[in-house]
Amino acid sequence: MNLTQPFIEQVNVIQSSIKHHLTALGGRFQASENVTRAEFKAFTNTIEQRNISLRALAWVPLISSDSRKAFELALSEEGITESYIKKSTEQGFQRSPNQSQYFPITFIEPLEANKSAVGLDVSTHPPVSASANKAISLKKHVITPLLSLVQQKDKFTGVVVYYPVYKKEFQTNTVLLKGFVEAVFELDLLLVGVHQSLDQNNFTY
């Protein structure tokens, strides 16, 4: 028996599970214009109960320049401290300059551990922007290279999976991008979970 086979199989199960849950989460936003933060939290709680070691699940809508003011006001009314669209720089977060559109992280769970990421425009965040654009181009799940998450310190074990969400305009028969759902996880912690779930009798230490 190949001693690594159980490990590979478990990783494949997790990969399929993440893609399945992101697709289902994307379907919620595709079907509704008014998913609330509470509804998002309730849905992500069902995923967290399935023993998947995710750092976060998030909704990243496309916000036009005309909608920016209303978007930031909504964040403020929800009690988000940094209630503005921002970009990450070497000096820390800064308010994003005016541009035609933004992709800010809006809903994210668990919120308390990831609140610093709310408002971050992924289109201006170099570690992930290329992967997000690739997801749009391919209309499928795309995973980033290893990176340091804004929630991490001195670690480069984070990865993000993006899945684009579209809506169909029946009057014009066009398909428009609404945004992304994303899954964030730390690869080292994910692999620890895989290791612990395996029958240790399959391995020699």
d(CA 131, CA 144): 6
**pLDDT tops 60 at residue 186:** yes
On whether residue 168 sits in a domain, the answer given is: yes
pLDDT at position 201 is 47
pLDDT at position 71 is 96
Encode 143-174: b = buried (16+ Cβ within 10 Å), e = exposed: bbeebebbbeeeeebbbbbbbbbebeeeeeee
Band the pLDDT of 73: cuts 50, 70, 90: very high
Q: How many domains does the chain have?
A: 1
Percent pLDDT > 70 in the chain is 77
**CATH value at residue 118:** 3.30.450.350
**pLDDT tops 70 at residue 1:** no
Band the pLDDT of 174: cuts 50, 70, 90: confident
**pLDDT tops 70 at residue 132:** yes
On whether residue 204 sits in a domain, the answer given is: no
Mean pLDDT of 96-123: 93
The 10s digit of each residue's pLDDT in 17-41 is 888 889 999 999 998 888 999 999 9
On whether residue 203 sits in a domain, the answer given is: no
Low-confidence winner among 46-50, 90-94, 113-117 (lowest mean pLDDT): 46-50
On whether residue 158 sits in a domain, the answer given is: yes
Report how far apart, in Å, the C-alpha atoms of 172 and of each of 136, 161, 167 are: 20, 31, 12
Structural domain of residue 164, as residue ranges?
A: 5-198
Non-local (6+) Cβ contacts of 152 within 8 A are 158, 186
On whether residue 60 sits in a domain, the answer given is: yes
pLDDT at position 68 is 97
On whether residue 170 sits in a domain, the answer given is: yes
Mean pLDDT of 5-23: 73
**pLDDT tops 50 at residue 204:** no
d(CA 73, CA 107): 15
pLDDT at position 92 is 83
- Phi and psi (nearest 5°) for 128? -125, -15
On whether residue 107 sits in a domain, the answer given is: yes
